[in-house]
Structure 1
Amino acid sequence: GQNAFSVLLFQDMAVIPILAVLPLLGSGAAHTDAHGGAADAWMAAWPGWAQALVTFGAIILIVAVGRVAMRYVFKAIAKTRQREAFTGTALLVVIGVALLMTKVGLSPALGAFVAGVVLANSEYRHELESDLEPFKGLLLGVFFLGVGAGIDFGYILEHPLLVLGGALGLILIKGLILQCLSVFSGLTGRQSLVFSASIAAGGEFAFVLISLSLASGVFPPDTGRALVAMVALSMAATPLLILLSQSILRRGLAGQEEREPDVEDDGNPVIICGFGRYGHAVGRLLRISGYGCTVLDNDSDQVELLRQLGIPVYYGDANRPDILALAGASRAKVLVIAIKDEAAASTIISNARRHHPHLTIYLRTYSRTEAYSYLGQGEKHIYRETLDSSLRMGEDILKQLGMPAHDANRAAKAYFIRDEEMVQAMAEHRNAEDGEYMNVAREAVKSLDELLRSDLKAEDRDPGAAGQAG
């Protein structure tokens, strides 16, 4: 996602110099504004290099003045506390810059883009984004409505091979370039295919470039109609390209021979199933503390990446009883299940309890409902992945607000104990009807707050007991 966004942003930024250079490539055709007059008639007689220089100068001037002046303008508006004033000023800036761009031979779309860059550099950008949010969908719809109205379907019917071939060529050439970029950025084969398919089509600014090129006389109207049709057709094909890439990946995975597990019994006391963000931290802590771990993961890309980093990981599906046996479950003491898939985790628990009942199982859970499920299976060592970090944050906030450190720590510990008790109690009602469950949950939340307050008050009266409890 980040790589695709970066490419799209680069495409949009590249529009600025391209639009500035287009007058140099034109044949001198006049660019007419909405009123039928020559918008850049005052410099029509200038040589191409001079027009380009004026264009670049206008853009630089707008950005420079905008960065300096708009700060004070919005600061003054902020003092009025009038939200409508923010919206009106922002729209006025956009319209004014767009009109200025037409006076130097550029399109109003580029002016709106430059105005957006200026507004984005304001310290009030978040408030501006909030105020302009209602206009985004409307104006985007108007833009694509204009694009759709500009497509000459008659031309497409008359020249189907040209349009289809051009659209296919655009997708193939751009897709090949994106594939090369994905290799340099370190994406895997699966990721690069989806990445290329998602943005291989032409961008929306292509329509702006084509319109300005026609107005500048860069190419004749027939070429413009063909290019508009090709870009529009490539954009329409984007959902199909994404679906096709996903289908290819699924068929490739289904058609390839299943990778043989390479699990070995290292005689370690701990077996970890899943070595993602959670299992990784647990495994590294145990290893640096001198306890060996046998790590299993069924994601071949993840296994190869970890091995390249020098982390010993075995490829194998812990759902299979034979894989656990190969990993040395008969001699291990602890089984850590750190995968996010609840169904797979339940299968591993069942197999471990059936074939290796001596193992102590430690479970990572993603939510309370998962915790209820594991408690229902008789498990005891259950760890909700966000509980400790959220309590640590809450403790730090209490200290920031002025609470003594020992009191904040005591409150966090009390919450942890009582919340664990509530989860244990709520697990008994996990299969109840929705209405009954909500009533029980509502009472549990109320009683949890009351118990926490009473615990903290009791510890305030008896500091010695609090020290023993900690």
Structure 2
Amino acid sequence: MNGFLFQAFIYLLAAVVAVLIAKRLGLGSVLGYLIAGVVIGPLLHLVGNETEDLQTFAEFGVVMMLFLVGLELQPRTLWDMRTRLLGLGGLQVLVTGGVLTLLGIAVGVPWDVSMVAGFVLSMSSTAIVLQTLGEKGLLKSDGGQSCFSVLLFQDISVIPILAVIPLLARPELIASQSASHSGGHASQAADWMSGMPGWEVTLITVAAVGFVVVAGNYLSRPFFRIIAASKLREVFTAAGLLLVIAIALLMTLVGLSPALGTFLAGVVLANSEFRHELESDIEPFKGLLLGLFFITVGASVNFTLLWDQLPLVAALTAAVMATKAAVLYGLGRMFKLQGADRWLFALGVAQAGEFGFVLLSFTVQSAVLAESIAAILLLVIALSMMLTPVLFILLDKLIIPRFNRVEGKQSDEIPEQAHIIIAGLGRFGQVINRILVANGHKTVVLDYRADIVDGLRKMGMRSFFGDASRPDLLHSAGLREAKVLVVAIDDMPRALEIVKHARRENSSLHIVARARDRADVYRLYQAGATDIVREVFDSSVRAAGYALSATGMHPYDVEKSKNVFVQHDRAGLRQLAPLWREDIPVFDNPEYVAKVKEITGAIEDAMLGNRGAFLDELDRGWTPPTAPAGS
């Protein structure tokens, strides 16, 4: 059974089973996909030679991913990143490529082979790193943004590397060689341009990029308005895919990276009113193709060659990853990345990447590297990619919890106590602290980010460095005597630890906690929080008020309507919290679903059917029968 349906069944089954197991073990989806590929490929031989063809197809997931990343970045944001993009990214490629070249020469490898291999291995895995950073919510951090800048510059640098490789052709390898792996999207140089003068090639390239920018700004909106007017969701989805594929095809025709072209298109469309619709339509295809790409990487590992050359491959992999991590750590210090962000940057992009498959194939075709050397380097790339999720686990479990001690920064001594303790000094905690202090209250503020604590001290905001989830630090801040604890951190596992410990130690403590969504509200409620604030709830209610005002409703009625909704929603949370269970999806919890229907009906009745009666009651000081748990 080698038909299409059987192969599709094998790939999908492997993906679902492996990813579920990996996620349950805390290993992340990427490692699950890679393991699935190894199992169905080299171990069980359930998939055959079609893996190479699938890998070329699956690499389109990287193209879609960069398009979606571009949609999140407005041109102004990209311009603000220029220092990291050119500085961090440029130095990473040049320094890493140079160091690996020197190491190759030092062990007797010819300089041209060392240089090509060095710059090929200087590339990192955009797919794995961005997927993992997104899953862990680290993409917006300083370390995550630095990783993204390096990855984006690497994608751009593929273009000049492809241009230089043919100039290094070795006479003894001039005979045409077939690549060990499919060339992929980025290696398909435009044959029709090969005989043109350099200035014509440059002009065509600039024209293609200019067309993407102009079309994105002026042609895409009318196009999508026409599509949207059809009111057919599947047509809009098809139009979104058509846009991505058309840009990728255009970039391929002029010899550029399709991923770079679609990223540029995403940036251009970042301000479009169709941005969110495009994201929601393309996201499922991106996720599926990226998963398929990771599976094909695992399935393409040549275990026969790996076992034969295991000491060499292991040594090369360790040398490449250690060299890249050291260079990245040094650049992180140069660009003033702090603590955990520097380690995230150093380890996050220490692997070789998927563009290495593309470049190695092109080096063999161009008679620069022998097939035997390329096969070894392919194993190094695949092995380093498979080790990347392990590095992220190491980062999560060992390095980040201890990085303060690694940096020599100890928790501050807290010489005073207060009746109000605030855990977290980000944008959420800062506002709370400012209001409390402005009203004459003394607070003790804790945060584990030394740079933020030091910076706010310079501005006159008294705060202390330390991890508020540590019981000894909470006690030194006066936990047992405190009246109020504000948990303003956005790390839910740590927030739950703090709330549970604080409730055990001080039963009368009033705990105000920050939540991201309803599930977090329920977790914090069960942990013992008194008042729970959803991050965007108040702003969403305000936005709804603006929308009601725009319909012509009187401002007085708008405010009363908002108050009715807030009161009912908060009272509903109080009723739903005891019914929520961590181990059962809410849609499979019949008691929870029934209560949601009941509460929804009551709110609709209040807002529509009996609006006048409820607003009159509100005028007379109506309040819900029990105090709510969260807002």
Aligned residue among 132, 146, 152 for 1:9: 152
For residues 180 and 239 of structure 1, the distance between their equivalents in structure 2, rounded to whole angstroms, comes to: 22
For residues 243 and 479 of structure 2, the distance between their equivalents in structure 1, rounded to whole angstroms, comes to: 69
The 10-residue stretch of structure 1 (220-229 or 85-94) with the greater mean CA deviation from structure 2 = 85-94
Look up the match of 1:60: 206
Percent identity between the two aligned chains: 25
Aligned residue among 165, 171, 192 for 2:315: 165
Residue 215 of structure 1 aligns to which amino acid in structure 2?
Q
Aligned residue among 434, 452, 461 for 1:284: 434
Look up the match of 1:352: 506
For the pair 1:26 / 2:26, whether they are aligned, the reply is no
For the pair 1:305 / 2:452, whether they are aligned, the reply is yes
For the pair 1:211 / 2:361, whether they are aligned, the reply is yes
Q: Secondary structure at the match of 1:237?
A: helix
Q: Per-residue deviation at 1:202? A: 0.9
Q: Which has the higher contact order (CA 8 A, sep 6+)?
A: 2
Aligned residue among 331, 338, 346 for 2:487: 338
Q: Deviations over 1:357-399 (max 9, x none)?
A: 6x7x252253667777888999866655554333223222222
Change in CA separation of 1:96 and 1:278 when aligned onto 2, cut-off 3 Å: closer
Look up the match of 1:262: 413
Look up the match of 1:417: 567
For residues 413 and 250 of structure 1, the distance between their equivalents in structure 2, rounded to whole angstroms, comes to: 43
Q: Is the 8 A contact 2:503 2:528 kept in 1?
A: no
Look up the match of 1:190: 340
Q: Is the 8 A contact 2:549 2:555 kept in 1?
A: yes
Look up the match of 2:548: 398
Q: Secondary structure at the match of 1:363?
A: strand
The structure with the larger Rg is 1
Unaligned runs of 5+ in 2: 1-138, 183-188, 624-631
Q: Is the 8 A contact 1:63 1:114 kept in 2?
A: no
Unaligned runs of 5+ in 1: none
Q: Deviations over 1:175-215 (max 9, x none)?
A: 11221233345444334334322321111112222222222
Look up the match of 1:363: 512
For residues 537 and 299 of structure 2, the distance between their equivalents in structure 1, rounded to whole angstroms, comes to: 54
Q: Is the 8 A contact 1:263 1:327 kept in 2?
A: no
For residues 366 and 598 of structure 2, the distance between their equivalents in structure 1, rounded to whole angstroms, comes to: 73
Q: Is the 8 A contact 2:352 2:381 kept in 1?
A: yes
Q: Per-residue deviation at 1:31? A: 7.8
Q: Secondary structure at the match of 2:506?
A: helix
Q: Secondary structure at the match of 1:264?
A: coil
Alignment of 1:362-381 (within 5 A): 362-364=511-513, 366=515
Q: Per-residue deviation at 1:403? A: 1.8
Change in CA separation of 1:24 and 1:143 when aligned onto 2, cut-off 3 Å: farther
For residues 252 and 428 of structure 1, the distance between their equivalents in structure 2, rounded to whole angstroms, comes to: 36
Aligned residue among 463, 469, 478 for 1:327: 478
User: TM-score, normalized by length of structure 2?
Assistant: 0.56
Residue 159 of structure 2 aligns to which amino acid in structure 1?
I
Q: Per-residue deviation at 1:238? A: 1.9
When the two chains are superposed, the root-mean-square deviation of aligned CA atoms in Å is: 4.9
Aligned residue among 358, 371, 389 for 2:539: 389
Task: Tell me the number of residue pairs that the alignment of Structure 1 and Structure 2 aligns.
Answer: 440
For residues 437 and 446 of structure 1, the distance between their equivalents in structure 2, rounded to whole angstroms, comes to: 14
For the pair 1:466 / 2:619, whether they are aligned, the reply is yes
Residue 305 of structure 1 aligns to which amino acid in structure 2?
I
Residue 352 of structure 1 aligns to which amino acid in structure 2?
N
Q: Secondary structure at the match of 1:294?
A: strand
For residues 270 and 136 of structure 1, the distance between their equivalents in structure 2, rounded to whole angstroms, comes to: 47
Aligned residue among 437, 451, 457 for 2:612: 457
Q: Secondary structure at the match of 2:342?
A: helix
Q: Per-residue deviation at 1:350? A: 3.9
